[in-house]
Structure 1
Amino acid sequence: MTRMALSAAVLEDRFVRLEPFSEALREEVRAALDCDPEAWEIMVGAAWGPHFDGWWASAMAAMASVSRIPWAVREKASGRVVGTTSLYEIKPDYRRCEIGSTFYRPEARGGPVNPACKRLLLGHAFDAGAVRVEIITDAINPGSQAAIRKLGARDEGVLRKHKITWTGRIRDTAQFAILDEDWPEVRARLEARLVSYI
């Protein structure tokens, strides 16, 4: 039986360079995430200010157990780390994973950074043998849901009382997925979007 074999590789294109977490990146990632506390309010976990060290330790432990690969997102134009994203809930036997734990600084939102990251992460997952990549978000976050739909991911409904956020709120989760047979169309859509930024 074929298994998915994801690796913690550097992924890059003309817009971004995704660098797997290492201790050498710790302070750059801290600086990138220490902003916009309001945006963190609806996240499952917080990584700004006093929350960073615990969040970082959790990410590194998950990376060591190969259940998550977290990347620092370096914007090529500025050379700065502007956020983070991950492949997590990695299930090699079932050939599936999730894209998530994504946060970008306000100035990196709305341009090529997010579609470039999604193109690289999805390509990495499907090239490694994934048959399913999930993307989930808070059911009270319509902006995030719209962005996921724009990728071409399919709505799969709402998981009620699915997670508890760091503030203690019990959240419903909107679930989406891209399957291997969806990937060629999704890839073409992402590449067309990225061409518009060249």
Structure 2
Amino acid sequence: MSRMDLPVVVLENRFVRMEPLTDALKDEVREALSCDPEAWEGMVGSAYGDQFDGWWASAMAAMTKGSRIPWAVRRDGLVVGTTSLYEIRPEYRRCELGSTFYRPEVRGGVLNPACKRLALGHAFDHGAVRVEIVTDALNARSQAAIRKLGAQDEGVLRKHKITWTGRVRDTAQFAILDEDWPEVRDRLDARLAAFA
């Protein structure tokens, strides 16, 4: 495949259902994100409380423009968070995977690897040659989860972003390339099989 074209579609496996954001999902997503204010502190943008409407408008505008696919993540019928492919650059066949927030009670189990398997598969199956995953350089837990995926550590970008609270943030950058994907996919499939 010599081009990248990421359709905006529902992604689903036996653990999760990822639904592209629509106005019909707005209240469910607001409810899912209205918890754990401390977790939002290190994020570039916040969808907690008063910040939700601005976050929602930005996500919807980026989806309309074709630079982001934001999904509501559903587990056992309930929306429990969101994740996105964003910074979509078809001309470079690259995107980022992130803008991820899950309710505390679903963290640390099958949800994150199940979502990563779907989103990464979607990107690479539709022509991506590179998917980047970035996180706050202070967030050791997030970095450990990204390394566990098999993403390659590419270093720290100093003073890379400014969070919604105004803190100038260093960013730890990771990437998975198309040639890395088969091994990463097999690793994720083995992790998911353990939850069967």
TM-score range, shorter chain: over 0.9
- Aligned 1:96-111 pairs, distance under 5 A: 96-111=94-109
Aligned partner letter, 1:109: R
- 2:93 is matched with which residue? 95
Taking the aligned partners of 1:138 and 1:190, their CA distance within structure 2 comes to 23
SS in structure 2 at match of 1:4: coil
SS in structure 2 at match of 1:161: strand
- 2:73 is matched with which residue? 73
Taking the aligned partners of 2:96 and 2:22, their CA distance within structure 1 comes to 21
Deviation at 1:49, TM superposition (A): 1.0
Aligned partner letter, 1:87: L
- 2:44 is matched with which residue? 44
Per-residue CA shift, 1:109-133, capped at 9, x if unaligned?
A: 0111000000000000000000000
Taking the aligned partners of 2:183 and 2:3, their CA distance within structure 1 comes to 24
Deviation at 1:25, TM superposition (A): 0.4
- 1:127 is matched with which residue? 125
Taking the aligned partners of 2:187 and 2:35, their CA distance within structure 1 comes to 31
- 2:182 is matched with which residue? 184
Deviation at 1:3, TM superposition (A): 1.8
SS in structure 1 at match of 2:18: strand
Per-residue CA shift, 1:15-71, capped at 9, x if unaligned?
A: 000000000000000000000000001111110111100100000000010010100
Taking the aligned partners of 2:164 and 2:184, their CA distance within structure 1 comes to 32
TM-score (norm 2): 0.99
Taking the aligned partners of 2:31 and 2:48, their CA distance within structure 1 comes to 9
Deviation at 1:136, TM superposition (A): 0.3
Structure 1 runs not aligned, ≥5 long: none
Aligned partner letter, 1:150: K
- 1:115 is matched with which residue? 113
SS in structure 2 at match of 1:47: coil
Taking the aligned partners of 2:149 and 2:3, their CA distance within structure 1 comes to 26
Taking the aligned partners of 1:94 and 1:41, their CA distance within structure 2 comes to 31
Which of 143, 154, 157 is the equivalent residue of 1:156?
A: 154
Taking the aligned partners of 1:50 and 1:110, their CA distance within structure 2 comes to 27
- 2:24 is matched with which residue? 24
Taking the aligned partners of 2:156 and 2:174, their CA distance within structure 1 comes to 9
Deviation at 1:2, TM superposition (A): 2.3
Aligned partner letter, 1:43: M
Taking the aligned partners of 1:111 and 1:102, their CA distance within structure 2 comes to 15
Moved segments of 4+, more than 3 Å? none
SS in structure 2 at match of 1:145: helix
Aligned partner letter, 1:154: Q
Per-residue CA shift, 1:95-152, capped at 9, x if unaligned?
A: 0000010000001101110000000000000000000000000000000000000000
What is the aligned length? 196
Query: Sequence identity, in percent?
Result: 77
